[in-house]
Structure 1
Amino acid sequence: MSYQGRINRTGGTRVKRALGVQAALEWAFRVEKAQLELPAPQDANEEGFGFGLEYVLLHRAALGCKIDGGQHKIGTYTHEDAEVIAATVAGMPDSLGGKRMAIRVAELARAGLTPDWMPGAVPRCVPVEVKRNQHGERAITVVVGTERVLSRGKWRTVDVLACPVTYVPHPQQIEAARRAYADWWQALGWVRDGLCEGGCLKDLELKPDMPRPDPWVRCR
Protein backbone atom coordinates (compact mmCIF):
# COMPACT_ATOMS: atom_id res chain seq x y z
CA MET A 1 0.00 0.00 0.00
CA SER A 2 1.41 3.42 -0.96
CA TYR A 3 0.93 6.39 1.32
CA GLN A 4 2.36 8.87 -1.16
CA GLY A 5 0.42 10.99 -3.56
CA ARG A 6 -1.14 14.39 -4.04
CA ILE A 7 -4.36 15.60 -2.49
CA ASN A 8 -7.08 15.66 -5.10
CA ARG A 9 -9.25 18.72 -5.53
CA THR A 10 -12.78 18.57 -6.90
CA GLY A 11 -14.56 21.82 -7.57
CA GLY A 12 -12.19 23.67 -5.27
CA THR A 13 -13.07 21.46 -2.29
CA ARG A 14 -10.17 19.76 -0.54
CA VAL A 15 -10.49 15.98 -0.48
CA LYS A 16 -8.74 14.54 2.54
CA ARG A 17 -6.93 11.21 2.43
CA ALA A 18 -8.48 8.73 4.83
CA LEU A 19 -5.98 6.50 6.62
CA GLY A 20 -6.08 4.22 9.63
CA VAL A 21 -3.80 5.23 12.48
CA GLN A 22 -1.11 2.64 11.69
CA ALA A 23 -1.00 3.70 8.03
CA ALA A 24 -0.91 7.36 9.08
CA LEU A 25 2.02 6.70 11.42
CA GLU A 26 3.93 4.87 8.70
CA TRP A 27 3.25 7.71 6.27
CA ALA A 28 4.48 10.31 8.77
CA PHE A 29 7.63 8.54 9.94
CA ARG A 30 8.53 6.36 6.95
CA VAL A 31 7.49 8.47 3.96
CA GLU A 32 7.64 12.02 5.31
CA LYS A 33 10.61 11.25 7.61
CA ALA A 34 9.06 13.14 10.51
CA GLN A 35 11.27 13.32 13.60
CA LEU A 36 10.18 12.51 17.11
CA GLU A 37 10.92 15.61 19.17
CA LEU A 38 10.84 14.47 22.78
CA PRO A 39 10.61 16.97 25.64
CA ALA A 40 13.68 17.85 27.66
CA PRO A 41 14.16 15.82 30.87
CA GLN A 42 12.28 17.23 33.83
CA ASP A 43 13.75 18.14 37.19
CA ALA A 44 14.01 15.34 39.71
CA ASN A 45 11.24 16.97 41.74
CA GLU A 46 8.79 16.95 38.84
CA GLU A 47 6.60 14.00 38.09
CA GLY A 48 6.76 11.67 35.12
CA PHE A 49 7.33 12.26 31.43
CA GLY A 50 4.02 12.22 29.59
CA PHE A 51 2.26 15.45 28.73
CA GLY A 52 -1.21 13.98 28.63
CA LEU A 53 -3.63 14.51 25.77
CA GLU A 54 -4.98 17.78 27.12
CA TYR A 55 -1.53 19.41 27.06
CA VAL A 56 -0.86 18.21 23.50
CA LEU A 57 -4.14 19.67 22.24
CA LEU A 58 -3.60 23.00 24.01
CA HIS A 59 -0.04 23.21 22.74
CA ARG A 60 -1.15 22.62 19.17
CA ALA A 61 -3.94 25.15 19.50
CA ALA A 62 -1.45 27.76 20.70
CA LEU A 63 0.66 27.09 17.63
CA GLY A 64 -2.32 27.38 15.35
CA CYS A 65 -2.03 23.68 14.56
CA LYS A 66 1.22 24.28 12.68
CA ILE A 67 4.36 22.44 13.78
CA ASP A 68 7.76 23.56 12.56
CA GLY A 69 10.02 20.55 12.07
CA GLY A 70 12.44 22.03 9.54
CA GLN A 71 15.35 21.96 11.94
CA HIS A 72 15.73 18.21 11.36
CA LYS A 73 15.27 18.20 7.57
CA ILE A 74 17.53 20.80 6.01
CA GLY A 75 16.67 21.36 2.37
CA THR A 76 13.60 19.12 2.43
CA TYR A 77 9.97 19.52 3.34
CA THR A 78 8.06 17.49 5.91
CA HIS A 79 4.31 17.62 5.51
CA GLU A 80 2.61 19.60 8.24
CA ASP A 81 0.30 16.69 9.06
CA ALA A 82 3.31 14.42 9.56
CA GLU A 83 4.73 16.89 12.10
CA VAL A 84 1.39 16.99 13.93
CA ILE A 85 1.38 13.18 14.09
CA ALA A 86 4.95 13.15 15.40
CA ALA A 87 4.08 15.79 18.02
CA THR A 88 1.15 13.69 19.18
CA VAL A 89 3.30 10.57 19.54
CA ALA A 90 5.87 12.59 21.50
CA GLY A 91 3.18 13.40 24.05
CA MET A 92 2.59 9.76 24.98
CA PRO A 93 1.52 9.72 28.67
CA ASP A 94 3.31 7.72 31.33
CA SER A 95 0.25 5.53 31.77
CA LEU A 96 0.88 4.13 28.28
CA GLY A 97 4.67 3.89 28.48
CA GLY A 98 5.75 7.51 28.10
CA LYS A 99 8.95 8.25 26.19
CA ARG A 100 9.87 4.58 25.74
CA MET A 101 6.54 3.78 24.07
CA ALA A 102 6.70 6.93 21.94
CA ILE A 103 10.08 5.83 20.60
CA ARG A 104 8.82 2.29 19.99
CA VAL A 105 5.74 3.50 18.11
CA ALA A 106 7.87 5.78 15.93
CA GLU A 107 10.54 3.14 15.23
CA LEU A 108 8.02 0.48 14.26
CA ALA A 109 6.20 2.95 12.00
CA ARG A 110 9.47 4.03 10.39
CA ALA A 111 10.30 0.40 9.65
CA GLY A 112 6.77 -0.42 8.51
CA LEU A 113 6.51 -3.18 11.10
CA THR A 114 4.00 -4.53 13.59
CA PRO A 115 5.27 -5.82 16.95
CA ASP A 116 6.20 -9.51 16.85
CA TRP A 117 3.52 -11.25 18.91
CA MET A 118 5.07 -14.64 18.10
CA PRO A 119 2.36 -15.96 15.78
CA GLY A 120 1.94 -19.71 15.87
CA ALA A 121 4.27 -20.09 18.83
CA VAL A 122 3.53 -23.23 20.87
CA PRO A 123 5.76 -24.26 23.78
CA ARG A 124 7.56 -27.56 23.12
CA CYS A 125 9.12 -29.74 25.78
CA VAL A 126 12.76 -30.33 24.80
CA PRO A 127 15.91 -31.60 26.58
CA VAL A 128 18.02 -28.90 28.20
CA GLU A 129 21.13 -30.37 26.56
CA VAL A 130 21.84 -33.00 23.91
CA LYS A 131 25.01 -34.86 22.95
CA ARG A 132 25.79 -35.48 19.29
CA ASN A 133 28.10 -38.13 17.82
CA GLN A 134 28.34 -40.35 14.77
CA HIS A 135 25.32 -42.31 15.95
CA GLY A 136 23.06 -39.26 16.18
CA GLU A 137 22.01 -37.18 19.15
CA ARG A 138 21.03 -38.20 22.64
CA ALA A 139 19.55 -36.24 25.51
CA ILE A 140 21.94 -35.62 28.39
CA THR A 141 20.87 -37.27 31.65
CA VAL A 142 21.84 -36.49 35.23
CA VAL A 143 21.88 -38.59 38.37
CA VAL A 144 19.00 -37.62 40.65
CA GLY A 145 19.35 -40.42 43.22
CA THR A 146 20.09 -44.09 43.83
CA GLU A 147 17.97 -47.19 44.33
CA ARG A 148 18.58 -50.72 45.62
CA VAL A 149 17.39 -53.33 43.14
CA LEU A 150 17.46 -57.13 43.14
CA SER A 151 19.26 -58.35 40.04
CA ARG A 152 20.12 -62.00 39.41
CA GLY A 153 19.65 -62.83 43.05
CA LYS A 154 21.84 -59.99 44.31
CA TRP A 155 21.01 -56.55 45.66
CA ARG A 156 22.72 -53.80 43.73
CA THR A 157 22.81 -50.02 44.00
CA VAL A 158 22.01 -48.29 40.75
CA ASP A 159 21.84 -44.63 39.74
CA VAL A 160 18.45 -43.10 38.97
CA LEU A 161 18.80 -40.96 35.84
CA ALA A 162 16.58 -38.15 34.63
CA CYS A 163 16.58 -35.92 31.59
CA PRO A 164 16.28 -32.19 32.44
CA VAL A 165 13.79 -30.54 30.11
CA THR A 166 12.63 -27.03 29.32
CA TYR A 167 9.96 -25.41 27.17
CA VAL A 168 10.88 -23.63 23.93
CA PRO A 169 9.67 -20.99 23.44
CA HIS A 170 8.94 -20.50 27.10
CA PRO A 171 5.32 -19.60 27.88
CA GLN A 172 6.53 -16.43 29.60
CA GLN A 173 8.27 -15.34 26.39
CA ILE A 174 5.04 -15.71 24.45
CA GLU A 175 3.07 -13.92 27.15
CA ALA A 176 5.58 -11.04 27.24
CA ALA A 177 5.52 -10.63 23.44
CA ARG A 178 1.73 -10.49 23.36
CA ARG A 179 1.56 -8.14 26.31
CA ALA A 180 3.97 -5.82 24.46
CA TYR A 181 1.72 -5.99 21.38
CA ALA A 182 -1.32 -5.12 23.50
CA ASP A 183 0.53 -2.12 25.01
CA TRP A 184 1.46 -0.92 21.50
CA TRP A 185 -2.16 -1.34 20.39
CA GLN A 186 -3.39 0.80 23.29
CA ALA A 187 -0.80 3.46 22.43
CA LEU A 188 -2.05 3.56 18.82
CA GLY A 189 -5.60 4.01 20.09
CA TRP A 190 -4.47 6.99 22.18
CA VAL A 191 -2.72 8.54 19.16
CA ARG A 192 -5.79 8.00 16.98
CA ASP A 193 -8.13 9.56 19.54
CA GLY A 194 -5.80 12.51 20.08
CA LEU A 195 -5.53 13.26 16.38
CA CYS A 196 -9.29 13.01 15.93
CA GLU A 197 -10.06 15.20 18.94
CA GLY A 198 -7.39 17.73 18.06
CA GLY A 199 -8.79 18.37 14.59
CA CYS A 200 -5.42 19.72 13.43
CA LEU A 201 -4.84 17.49 10.43
CA LYS A 202 -5.02 19.48 7.23
CA ASP A 203 -4.87 16.91 4.46
CA LEU A 204 -5.48 13.64 6.30
CA GLU A 205 -8.54 12.16 7.92
CA LEU A 206 -8.15 9.44 10.55
CA LYS A 207 -10.36 6.43 10.01
CA PRO A 208 -11.46 4.40 13.05
CA ASP A 209 -9.56 1.37 11.73
CA MET A 210 -7.17 -0.26 14.20
CA PRO A 211 -4.99 -3.36 14.00
CA ARG A 212 -6.51 -6.40 15.66
CA PRO A 213 -6.23 -6.13 19.45
CA ASP A 214 -5.50 -9.85 19.86
CA PRO A 215 -4.44 -11.43 16.54
CA TRP A 216 -3.40 -14.62 18.34
CA VAL A 217 -7.05 -15.34 19.15
CA ARG A 218 -8.71 -17.17 16.29
CA CYS A 219 -11.96 -15.74 15.02
CA ARG A 220 -14.84 -18.13 15.56
Structure 2
Amino acid sequence: MMAHRTFQLSGRSWGKAMAAEAARDGLGRVRRQISIESLLEWAFADECASIDFEDAGTLAPGYGAIGNAYLMAQRGALGCRIDGGGRSLPDPDADLVAAAVAMLPEGCGGRRMAVQIAELARARAMPDAFVGVQPRCEPKDWHVNPYGRRAKTMSLGIEIDSSGRKARRHDVQVCPVVYRPDGSQVASARRNYLQWWSALSELRITFEIHTNLSRWSVDECMPPMTPWKKTLAE
Protein backbone atom coordinates (compact mmCIF):
# COMPACT_ATOMS: atom_id res chain seq x y z
CA MET A 1 0.00 0.00 0.00
CA MET A 2 1.26 3.40 -0.81
CA ALA A 3 -0.02 6.93 -0.71
CA HIS A 4 0.74 8.86 -3.88
CA ARG A 5 1.58 12.52 -4.26
CA THR A 6 1.13 14.62 -7.39
CA PHE A 7 3.77 16.91 -8.87
CA GLN A 8 3.96 19.47 -11.64
CA LEU A 9 7.06 18.58 -13.65
CA SER A 10 9.01 20.68 -16.14
CA GLY A 11 11.87 19.20 -18.15
CA ARG A 12 13.51 16.34 -16.35
CA SER A 13 11.67 15.18 -13.26
CA TRP A 14 13.50 16.09 -10.05
CA GLY A 15 11.10 14.68 -7.47
CA LYS A 16 9.95 17.15 -4.89
CA ALA A 17 11.06 20.80 -4.95
CA MET A 18 14.72 21.11 -4.03
CA ALA A 19 16.41 24.07 -2.37
CA ALA A 20 18.24 26.31 -4.83
CA GLU A 21 20.95 27.23 -2.37
CA ALA A 22 24.35 25.67 -2.98
CA ALA A 23 27.17 25.63 -0.47
CA ARG A 24 30.87 24.87 -0.96
CA ASP A 25 32.21 22.41 1.62
CA GLY A 26 35.72 21.98 3.02
CA LEU A 27 36.78 19.87 0.01
CA GLY A 28 35.69 22.53 -2.46
CA ARG A 29 32.58 20.67 -3.59
CA VAL A 30 29.48 22.68 -4.38
CA ARG A 31 26.60 20.69 -2.99
CA ARG A 32 22.89 21.45 -3.03
CA GLN A 33 20.66 21.00 0.02
CA ILE A 34 18.12 18.20 -0.32
CA SER A 35 15.85 16.21 1.96
CA ILE A 36 16.40 12.47 2.36
CA GLU A 37 13.04 11.70 0.74
CA SER A 38 13.85 13.86 -2.30
CA LEU A 39 17.31 12.32 -2.50
CA LEU A 40 15.82 8.82 -2.66
CA GLU A 41 13.36 9.90 -5.36
CA TRP A 42 16.19 11.47 -7.36
CA ALA A 43 18.34 8.33 -7.08
CA PHE A 44 15.70 5.71 -7.85
CA ALA A 45 13.16 7.58 -10.02
CA ASP A 46 15.34 10.05 -11.92
CA GLU A 47 18.67 8.21 -12.07
CA CYS A 48 17.15 4.68 -12.10
CA ALA A 49 19.63 3.39 -9.55
CA SER A 50 19.42 -0.31 -8.64
CA ILE A 51 19.79 -2.12 -5.35
CA ASP A 52 22.61 -4.66 -5.20
CA PHE A 53 22.61 -7.00 -2.22
CA GLU A 54 25.95 -8.40 -3.48
CA ASP A 55 24.97 -12.06 -3.24
CA ALA A 56 23.31 -13.13 -6.49
CA GLY A 57 21.27 -15.89 -4.86
CA THR A 58 19.19 -13.48 -2.82
CA LEU A 59 18.74 -10.55 -5.19
CA ALA A 60 15.25 -9.09 -5.14
CA PRO A 61 13.41 -9.74 -8.46
CA GLY A 62 13.44 -6.71 -10.74
CA TYR A 63 16.52 -5.11 -9.25
CA GLY A 64 19.83 -4.92 -11.07
CA ALA A 65 22.84 -6.71 -9.64
CA ILE A 66 25.61 -4.54 -11.10
CA GLY A 67 26.86 -1.04 -10.41
CA ASN A 68 29.31 1.39 -11.97
CA ALA A 69 32.38 -0.12 -10.29
CA TYR A 70 31.59 -3.59 -11.65
CA LEU A 71 30.97 -2.26 -15.17
CA MET A 72 34.25 -0.30 -15.20
CA ALA A 73 36.15 -3.39 -14.02
CA GLN A 74 34.61 -5.48 -16.79
CA ARG A 75 35.42 -2.87 -19.43
CA GLY A 76 38.99 -2.72 -18.13
CA ALA A 77 39.31 -6.49 -18.52
CA LEU A 78 37.81 -6.30 -22.02
CA GLY A 79 39.98 -3.37 -23.03
CA CYS A 80 37.23 -1.43 -24.77
CA ARG A 81 33.73 -0.06 -24.46
CA ILE A 82 30.98 -1.47 -26.65
CA ASP A 83 28.79 1.01 -28.50
CA GLY A 84 25.12 0.21 -28.78
CA GLY A 85 21.76 0.60 -27.14
CA GLY A 86 20.85 0.67 -23.49
CA ARG A 87 20.73 3.62 -21.11
CA SER A 88 23.23 5.87 -19.41
CA LEU A 89 24.65 4.80 -16.08
CA PRO A 90 23.25 6.32 -12.88
CA ASP A 91 25.06 9.24 -11.32
CA PRO A 92 27.77 8.03 -8.87
CA ASP A 93 25.87 9.72 -6.05
CA ALA A 94 22.80 7.67 -6.97
CA ASP A 95 24.86 4.48 -6.69
CA LEU A 96 26.03 5.57 -3.23
CA VAL A 97 22.41 6.15 -2.19
CA ALA A 98 21.38 2.71 -3.49
CA ALA A 99 24.31 1.09 -1.67
CA ALA A 100 23.33 2.78 1.60
CA VAL A 101 19.73 1.59 1.20
CA ALA A 102 20.90 -1.97 0.52
CA MET A 103 22.93 -1.90 3.77
CA LEU A 104 20.02 -0.96 6.04
CA PRO A 105 20.31 -2.81 9.38
CA GLU A 106 17.72 -5.37 10.39
CA GLY A 107 16.48 -3.01 13.09
CA CYS A 108 15.26 -0.71 10.32
CA GLY A 109 13.70 -3.50 8.28
CA GLY A 110 16.76 -4.84 6.46
CA ARG A 111 16.39 -5.98 2.87
CA ARG A 112 12.59 -6.02 2.95
CA MET A 113 12.54 -2.34 3.86
CA ALA A 114 15.29 -1.57 1.33
CA VAL A 115 13.16 -2.96 -1.48
CA GLN A 116 10.10 -1.10 -0.22
CA ILE A 117 12.02 2.20 0.00
CA ALA A 118 13.23 1.81 -3.59
CA GLU A 119 9.74 0.98 -4.89
CA LEU A 120 8.15 3.90 -3.06
CA ALA A 121 10.86 6.29 -4.24
CA ARG A 122 10.35 5.23 -7.85
CA ALA A 123 6.63 5.91 -7.46
CA ARG A 124 7.31 9.16 -5.55
CA ALA A 125 5.05 7.86 -2.80
CA MET A 126 5.05 7.03 0.89
CA PRO A 127 3.50 4.07 2.73
CA ASP A 128 -0.24 4.24 3.27
CA ALA A 129 -0.89 4.81 6.97
CA PHE A 130 -4.70 5.09 6.65
CA VAL A 131 -4.56 8.80 7.44
CA GLY A 132 -8.08 10.14 7.84
CA VAL A 133 -9.68 6.80 6.99
CA GLN A 134 -12.81 5.94 8.97
CA PRO A 135 -13.66 2.23 9.41
CA ARG A 136 -16.84 1.30 7.55
CA CYS A 137 -19.38 -1.30 8.61
CA GLU A 138 -20.00 -3.61 5.64
CA PRO A 139 -21.62 -7.00 5.04
CA LYS A 140 -19.11 -9.78 5.46
CA ASP A 141 -20.01 -11.26 2.10
CA TRP A 142 -22.13 -10.49 -0.93
CA HIS A 143 -24.44 -12.53 -3.13
CA VAL A 144 -24.01 -11.47 -6.77
CA ASN A 145 -26.40 -12.29 -9.62
CA PRO A 146 -27.34 -10.70 -12.97
CA TYR A 147 -29.70 -8.33 -11.17
CA GLY A 148 -27.08 -6.89 -8.86
CA ARG A 149 -25.77 -7.84 -5.46
CA ARG A 150 -27.17 -8.14 -2.00
CA ALA A 151 -25.73 -8.90 1.39
CA LYS A 152 -25.49 -12.57 2.33
CA THR A 153 -27.40 -13.63 5.39
CA MET A 154 -27.24 -16.66 7.63
CA SER A 155 -29.84 -18.47 9.71
CA LEU A 156 -29.75 -18.45 13.50
CA GLY A 157 -32.42 -21.10 13.71
CA ILE A 158 -36.19 -21.40 13.96
CA GLU A 159 -38.17 -19.30 16.43
CA ILE A 160 -41.74 -20.10 17.45
CA ASP A 161 -44.15 -17.14 17.54
CA SER A 162 -47.10 -18.04 19.79
CA SER A 163 -48.52 -14.55 20.19
CA GLY A 164 -51.45 -15.23 17.87
CA ARG A 165 -54.14 -17.86 17.74
CA LYS A 166 -51.85 -20.17 15.86
CA ALA A 167 -48.17 -20.67 16.54
CA ARG A 168 -45.94 -19.66 13.68
CA ARG A 169 -42.42 -20.66 12.85
CA HIS A 170 -39.95 -17.99 11.75
CA ASP A 171 -36.51 -18.54 10.31
CA VAL A 172 -34.35 -15.90 12.02
CA GLN A 173 -31.92 -14.40 9.50
CA VAL A 174 -28.97 -12.13 10.34
CA CYS A 175 -26.36 -10.37 8.22
CA PRO A 176 -22.79 -10.83 9.49
CA VAL A 177 -20.82 -7.59 9.22
CA VAL A 178 -17.18 -6.55 9.35
CA TYR A 179 -15.38 -3.25 9.77
CA ARG A 180 -13.00 -2.29 6.94
CA PRO A 181 -10.25 -1.44 7.47
CA ASP A 182 -10.23 -3.20 10.80
CA GLY A 183 -8.03 -2.31 13.73
CA SER A 184 -5.35 -4.88 12.92
CA GLN A 185 -5.00 -3.60 9.33
CA VAL A 186 -4.65 0.00 10.49
CA ALA A 187 -2.14 -0.97 13.20
CA SER A 188 -0.05 -3.03 10.75
CA ALA A 189 0.02 -0.23 8.17
CA ARG A 190 1.08 2.33 10.76
CA ARG A 191 3.81 0.07 12.15
CA ASN A 192 5.15 -0.27 8.61
CA TYR A 193 5.00 3.52 8.15
CA LEU A 194 6.94 4.09 11.38
CA GLN A 195 9.59 1.57 10.33
CA TRP A 196 9.86 3.29 6.92
CA TRP A 197 10.25 6.63 8.71
CA SER A 198 12.94 5.16 10.99
CA ALA A 199 14.80 3.79 7.95
CA LEU A 200 14.77 7.23 6.31
CA SER A 201 16.05 8.76 9.55
CA GLU A 202 18.86 6.19 9.62
CA LEU A 203 19.82 7.04 6.02
CA ARG A 204 19.66 10.79 6.71
CA ILE A 205 22.03 10.44 9.67
CA THR A 206 24.34 8.21 7.63
CA PHE A 207 24.75 10.81 4.88
CA GLU A 208 25.00 13.60 7.44
CA ILE A 209 27.91 11.83 9.15
CA HIS A 210 29.83 10.60 6.10
CA THR A 211 29.17 13.55 3.72
CA ASN A 212 30.35 11.34 0.84
CA LEU A 213 27.93 12.69 -1.78
CA SER A 214 29.54 15.03 -4.29
CA ARG A 215 26.38 16.82 -5.44
CA TRP A 216 24.08 16.82 -2.44
CA SER A 217 24.04 17.80 1.21
CA VAL A 218 21.23 16.07 3.10
CA ASP A 219 19.31 18.44 5.37
CA GLU A 220 17.18 17.69 8.42
CA CYS A 221 13.80 17.70 6.62
CA MET A 222 11.82 14.52 7.23
CA PRO A 223 8.30 13.35 6.38
CA PRO A 224 5.81 13.64 9.28
CA MET A 225 6.45 10.90 11.80
CA THR A 226 2.81 10.29 12.78
CA PRO A 227 0.59 12.02 10.19
CA TRP A 228 -2.53 10.32 11.55
CA LYS A 229 -2.26 12.13 14.88
CA LYS A 230 -2.83 15.50 13.21
CA THR A 231 -5.99 14.15 11.61
CA LEU A 232 -7.24 12.82 14.94
CA ALA A 233 -6.62 16.22 16.58
CA GLU A 234 -8.68 17.97 13.94
TM over 0.5: yes
Q: How does 1:103-142 map to 2 (within 5 A)?
A: 103-131=115-143, 138-142=150-154
Q: Is the 8 A contact 1:127 1:164 kept in 2?
A: yes
Give the match for residue 14 of structure 2. Answer: 3
Measured in 2, the distance between the counterparts of 1:9 and 1:168 equals 49
Q: How does 1:57-96 map to 2 (within 5 A)?
A: 68-69=68-69, 71=71, 76-96=88-108
Give the match for residue 43 of structure 2. Answer: 28
Measured in 1, the distance between the counterparts of 2:201 and 2:89 equals 28
Give the match for residue 179 of structure 2. Answer: 167
Deviation at 1:132, TM superposition (A): 6.7
Q: Is the 8 A contact 1:16 1:203 kept in 2?
A: yes
Deviation at 1:177, TM superposition (A): 1.8
Give the match for residue 51 of structure 1. Answer: none
Deviation at 1:120, TM superposition (A): 2.7
Deviation at 1:216, TM superposition (A): 1.5
Distance 1:20 1:139, change over 3 A: same
Q: Is the 8 A contact 1:32 1:82 kept in 2?
A: yes
Measured in 2, the distance between the counterparts of 1:147 and 1:114 equals 53
The answer to whether 1:154 aligns with 2:169 is no
Measured in 1, the distance between the counterparts of 2:68 and 2:142 equals 59
Measured in 2, the distance between the counterparts of 1:81 and 1:134 equals 57
Distance 1:69 1:102, change over 3 A: farther
Q: Quick check: 146-155 or 200-209, which moved more?
A: 146-155
Measured in 2, the distance between the counterparts of 1:113 and 1:201 equals 23
2:162 is paired with a residue whose SS is: strand
CA deviation vs aligned residue, 1:80-114 (integer Å, no higher than 9, x gap): 22221111111011122211111111121122221
Q: Is the 8 A contact 1:119 1:216 kept in 2?
A: yes
Give the match for residue 3 of structure 2. Answer: none
2:167 is paired with a residue whose SS is: strand
Give the match for residue 218 of structure 2. Answer: 206
Measured in 1, the distance between the counterparts of 2:90 and 2:21 equals 15
Q: Is the 8 A contact 1:22 1:210 kept in 2?
A: yes
Measured in 1, the distance between the counterparts of 2:150 and 2:88 equals 61
Deviation at 1:70, TM superposition (A): 6.2
Aligned length in residues: 194
2:161 is paired with a residue whose SS is: strand
Deviation at 1:146, TM superposition (A): 2.5
Identity %: 35
Alignment RMSD (CA, Å): 3.4
Deviation at 1:23, TM superposition (A): 0.3
Deviation at 1:174, TM superposition (A): 2.2
- Structure 2 unpaired stretches of 5+: 1-6, 8-12, 58-66, 73-84
Q: Is the 8 A contact 1:7 1:15 kept in 2?
A: no
Q: Is the 8 A contact 1:8 1:14 kept in 2?
A: no
- Structure 1 unpaired stretches of 5+: 43-66
